[in-house]
Structure 1
Amino acid sequence: MAKGGAKAQSAHDAPVHVTSAETYLEAYTRLLQNKRFEETFRSLTPEAIIGNFNERKNETVSAPCASALAHYVRGIGQREPWALKMQDASSKLPSGIMTGNIMNLGSFDECVGARGRSAGVDIRGRHCMYEFNLTRSYRALPYDPTMSICLPNSCTERDLLSLIVSTVGAAGDSVFLPTRAKCVSERGEFWDGETTLVVFICGAYCGFLLLCTVYDAMGRWLADKDCKSEDEKTLVRFSLLKNAESVLTTESQKNNLPVINGLRFISTMSIVMVHDFNRILEVFNNIYLVTHTRAAPYFLGVVLGFIIETNCKLSKVSRSLGWLVATGIVITIFFGTKFVLDANYKYILLLEMLGSSSARFCWSFVVCWIIFSSINGSAGPLQKLFSWKYFLPLSKLSYSMFLLHIIFPFMRMMTSRNPLYINDWLTTHSYIGNLVLSIVFSFFYTIAVEMPVFSMDDLLLRRKCLPSKEDDSPRLSEPMSNDYTMTELK
């Protein structure tokens, strides 16, 4: 005992912080050497929570939950099948903690499928997830530890938090504090008044598109398109058949830059790929949503447009130097990203500052250089590659892909019943699946939402300002403004 009656704090019990000279993995390993960390982590397992309730009979828990928990504990003691299923469906202390496995999802299907009867009371399982944060003295975990517990369906999220707080109090001073609990029953309430309204609006909109499509098809069958009035032509603009033709055409319009089509689609492919990684999603949330972080590509595109308009020509030496710089940027960004995402990466302030401030601008320079070189005929095989005619219909889907692609990894994450162990094959498989789904859904989204919205915009806002056009279909075959590929060159 130390002076004053306090226990002497050993090196293994000292608070753990991440320093700039070590990786999160190294700091996490030091944290695991802390004896109190392991003991507290074990004390917050579902088995410990139920055991603490059985001993203390937590009075802060609601009466229905307390009664059901008492039946649940009695059922475990009597080896009732339904109670054993609920116990088995709850998380256990996970293996692989040394490698960062501090999340256990339990067994959702086994939990919600557990049903029994005890002393005339019906018991059904309810799957709950709970998280806990480290206290201020410990900062080495990359994310909050998460576990699951199968409780009787009469218990609420508030009841679960009360059980956890009681368990933490019983364990004494803890390195963990409970933060969030989420419980899900087998069948949640889904249909309400707002849902009815949304379904009605979507149904009416789809019915209108279907009506316009049928009208367009009948007109084609009767071959009377030259006799259509202005109102009839307006209806045809919302035809799914006409919009699909506009998207799938490979004929480029006048003054279009074909090289942009390939750049747009390949850039979108790269965005779909990087968003399969959680760390990139965090960067997206913290940086990309801030508008001014995208100012550099926009202004660089404006400068490129000015240079193109002035018909600027470069010497052979200047062109060679430009390609050397562009190639160096691509290699640096590729290997730099790989270096930063490595598990053993140690935080380097200067590198982080340079990367955050210049990466977007440098990548934009590469895109601008390829466009400029293609216009001047010095891009060689890259010009032929990016100008491939089948990139034109795919590029028309790029903006919709950008909007929709993030849905699929989130759906996979939100509906996962078991942990996913990431490796190169699983990442590649996920990327290809997300890419194909993004293309397919983007096609239908483009012809059913994006192009009709363009038509409404043209009808409501531009009819009085613009001269009549021979082609009354939405002009998706021209480059559209996408700041992440810098295709707006005016």
Structure 2
Amino acid sequence: MAVLIHEKRVLVLDASTKIPSGIFTGNIVDLGMFDECLSVSEIVEETVIRGRHCMYSFKVRNLPASITFSICLPSSCDAQDVKFIYEKVKNNSIDKNGAENWKIDAFDATCSSVDREISVGTIITMLWFQTWGSLYVFLAAFAVDTFFLISGFLMTYLVLKEMSNGKKFNIFLYYIHRYIRLTPVVGMLLLITIFILPHLGSGPIWEKSLKNILSGTCEQKWWTLLVYVQNYVRTDIECLGHTWYLAADMHFYWISPIILIPLMKKPKLGLAILGSLVIASLISVGTMVAVNGYISTLYSNSAPVSVIKDSFRFFYTVSHTRASSWLIGIYLGYIIHSNPAKLSKTSVFYGWLGAIGCFIFCIMGQRVCLEESYKYNLTFETTFAMFSRPMWAIGVAWVVFASIYGYGGYVTEIMSLPIFLPLSRISFCIYIVHATLQIAKVNTTRTADYFSEFQMSDWSRFDFLHVLSEFFEKHFADQERNPLEARIFRQVSLWCRKGIPQGINKPVSMTLDRRPNKIDEREGCQSLVAWHIVALSKNDATVLACHLRLDIRV
């Protein structure tokens, strides 16, 4: 530092963190000035002296979360030098008297690469989590249960339909088709994350994110994603963490024949197996929460960060705790396949009343956990964990059932708006790439941001997400490029030229029943076939419909 001329020394000091105001109200992250630090470059005695931006974090016992600050050092320094400076300061300046409540429990440091540009994080005050305005963010966790429900529903209905039409169930093709349907997209995202993404970003916390949640961890864990065991194996490190859903869905797919085959051949046995698995899933959830003290939601105001992390890792993402929604989807598919009798107006009323009650239970339970005054209650957490997800699934199942059989009214009309059709075409690949893009954006920030609710809806990413998702969809998830799917498409074309086979029923597509004057025979044929194809994933039917340029109304 001493060899730097005065102007450069000032830049080094100016780029480093000074103690910010508002630490006790959540302003506990300061990134310094990354670009200013890297702009330091001076030749002294034929040696190039450059600035290097380092971040250090420490946990103060009296504060709820770690404090993260920055320091600008010469490029010859590294994270070990930062830790050495910390030890010197700690040993020489802390007054032992009365310092126990302010003891530092953990210290960590990372330094940016000298040869690249740099990035930023966002200061999010925990106080916002306690407001009603944050509720929609945490309710998004129930969207996963919606996907599980739809996955189980589509899989069951379409397989039972094929089997009832005399087609033999080929378990080998059943598994292979699913694996080929999902894996190319996951494999390509892994390649981009490991080999390309490290060269696209930079910033104060970029190197740390690469090491801990992106390319660094994926180099160790990539194989678990390709065999879909990432939510059970090497859970101590995170690689494309959002893909735990694909692993869980694949696990459900593996065990589905033990339910589907009995449902077709011996329905009572199949329903007994299904009910037993639902009960087992509920007991598993309750036991894990009661024994380990996990939280029932993604976030709880009463839980320390360590408990929130453990709950996500060992409880939220594992397959056996998420099975209830998928199993309810199987039951819904069986009911739809069985063509139930027409319901009375009273039954429909109570059906909607029950669905609304299920949604209110889930929404208010989540809100309770966000209250500032809430204290961890084992009975409440266990009860809410056991019943919130299946109740949400039951509510969504009623919406699907009511929409198919004409009991949905305005709800069905809104959900059938054509505006949703283009989004359905890229929904799967948006899910695949969105988290990586969000993580990269956050970790390439250069200066601290002041949090606002407006920033929670950042539309600047949408166009790029759309382009990237279209690329993945067309080249790695496009069903027309899959040989198995190509055979199905040829059959579709044949049916639509020669007319609808007698074995296909109409109740699945309510479009034909409610708008007979607006749809010709060819369009009706395509709509029916789109719902009878064995696509077997949460969005395969909608993707197929979009490739056929259909307007499916369910």
User: TM-score normalised by the shorter chain: which range applies?
Assistant: 0.5 to 0.7
Q: Which residue of 1 aligns with 2:491?
A: 469
Distance in 2 between residues matched to 1:149 and 1:198, nearest whole Å: 29
- Displacement of 1:307 in angstroms is 1.0
Is the partner of 2:49 in helix, strand or coil?
A: strand
Query: Paired residue for 1:162, among 84, 96, 114?
Result: 84
Q: Which residue of 2 aligns with 1:294?
A: 322
Distance in 1 between residues matched to 2:117 and 2:111, nearest whole Å: 13
In structure 2, give the amino acid aligned to 1:426.
Q
Change (3 A) 1:284 1:315: farther
In structure 2, give the amino acid aligned to 1:102.
I
Query: Paired residue for 2:25, among 85, 95, 99?
Result: 99
Q: Which residue of 1 aligns with 2:250?
A: none
- Displacement of 1:112 in angstroms is 0.5
1:307 matches 2:335: yes
Change (3 A) 1:393 1:122: closer
Is the partner of 1:365 in helix, strand or coil?
A: helix
- Displacement of 1:382 in angstroms is 1.0
In structure 2, give the amino acid aligned to 1:469.
Q
In structure 2, give the amino acid aligned to 1:144.
S
Change (3 A) 1:369 1:485: farther
Deviations 1:111-133 (A, max 9, x none): 00112345654321100001123
Query: Paired residue for 2:69, among 108, 122, 147?
Result: 147
Distance in 2 between residues matched to 1:318 and 1:338, nearest whole Å: 30
Change (3 A) 1:470 1:369: closer
Matches within 5 A, 1:219-298: 287-298=315-326
Is the partner of 2:322 in helix, strand or coil?
A: helix
Contact 2:424 / 2:539 at 8 angstroms: preserved in 1?
Answer: no
- Displacement of 1:339 in angstroms is 4.2
Q: Which residue of 1 aligns with 2:416?
A: 387
Matches within 5 A, 1:44-443: 69-71=1-3, 75=5, 80-118=6-44, 121-134=47-60, 138=61, 141-172=63-94, 175-188=103-116, 287-313=315-341, 314-343=343-372, 345-428=374-457, 430=458, 432-435=459-462, 437-443=464-470
Distance in 2 between residues matched to 1:70 and 1:178, nearest whole Å: 30
Change (3 A) 1:477 1:308: closer
Deviations 1:50-106 (A, max 9, x none): xxxxxxxxxxxxxxxxxxx4435xx5xxxx111100101001111101202222111
- Displacement of 1:396 in angstroms is 2.8
Change (3 A) 1:334 1:440: farther
Distance in 1 between residues matched to 2:46 and 2:79, nearest whole Å: 25
Contact 1:405 / 1:435 at 8 angstroms: preserved in 2?
Answer: no
Relative to the length of structure 2, the TM-score reads 0.50
- Displacement of 1:468 in angstroms is 5.7
Distance in 1 between residues matched to 2:34 and 2:117, nearest whole Å: 18
Contact 2:358 / 2:395 at 8 angstroms: preserved in 1?
Answer: yes
Change (3 A) 1:363 1:483: farther
In structure 2, give the amino acid aligned to 1:99.
T
Deviations 1:261-288 (A, max 9, x none): xxxxxxxxxxxxx99xxx9x96765644
Change (3 A) 1:141 1:353: farther
Change (3 A) 1:388 1:484: closer
Change (3 A) 1:356 1:380: same
In structure 1, give the amino acid aligned to 2:465.
S
- Displacement of 1:300 in angstroms is 0.3
Distance in 2 between residues matched to 1:116 and 1:153, nearest whole Å: 11
* Structure 1 unpaired stretches of 5+: 1-68, 200-273
Contact 1:329 / 1:366 at 8 angstroms: preserved in 2?
Answer: yes
- Displacement of 1:324 in angstroms is 0.8
Contact 2:83 / 2:108 at 8 angstroms: preserved in 1?
Answer: yes
In structure 2, give the amino acid aligned to 1:108.
F
- Displacement of 1:331 in angstroms is 3.0
Q: Which residue of 1 aligns with 2:215?
A: none
- Displacement of 1:179 in angstroms is 3.3
Q: Which residue of 1 aligns with 2:235?
A: none
Deviations 1:14-47 (A, max 9, x none): xxxxxxxxxxxxxxxxxxxxxxxxxxxxxxxxxx
Is the partner of 1:129 in helix, strand or coil?
A: strand
Contact 1:90 / 1:149 at 8 angstroms: preserved in 2?
Answer: yes
Contact 2:55 / 2:109 at 8 angstroms: preserved in 1?
Answer: yes
1:458 matches 2:484: yes
- Displacement of 1:363 in angstroms is 1.6
Distance in 1 between residues matched to 2:3 and 2:371, nearest whole Å: 49
Is the partner of 2:478 in helix, strand or coil?
A: helix
Is the partner of 1:71 in helix, strand or coil?
A: coil
Over the aligned positions, Cα root-mean-square deviation in angstroms equals 3.8
- Displacement of 1:486 in angstroms is 12
Is the partner of 1:146 in helix, strand or coil?
A: strand
Is the partner of 1:405 in helix, strand or coil?
A: helix
Identity of aligned residues (%): 31
* Structure 2 unpaired stretches of 5+: 97-101, 119-190, 197-297, 300-304, 495-526, 544-554
Query: Paired residue for 1:449, among 476, 489, 493?
Result: 476
**Residues matched between the structures, number:** 319
Change (3 A) 1:367 1:330: same
Contact 1:133 / 1:179 at 8 angstroms: preserved in 2?
Answer: yes
Q: Which residue of 2 aligns with 1:210?
A: none
Contact 2:427 / 2:539 at 8 angstroms: preserved in 1?
Answer: no
Q: Which has the larger radius of gyration?
A: 1
Change (3 A) 1:120 1:393: closer
Distance in 2 between residues matched to 1:447 and 1:159, nearest whole Å: 49
Q: Which residue of 2 aligns with 1:252?
A: none
Relative to the length of structure 1, the TM-score reads 0.56
- Displacement of 1:439 in angstroms is 3.6
- Displacement of 1:485 in angstroms is 11
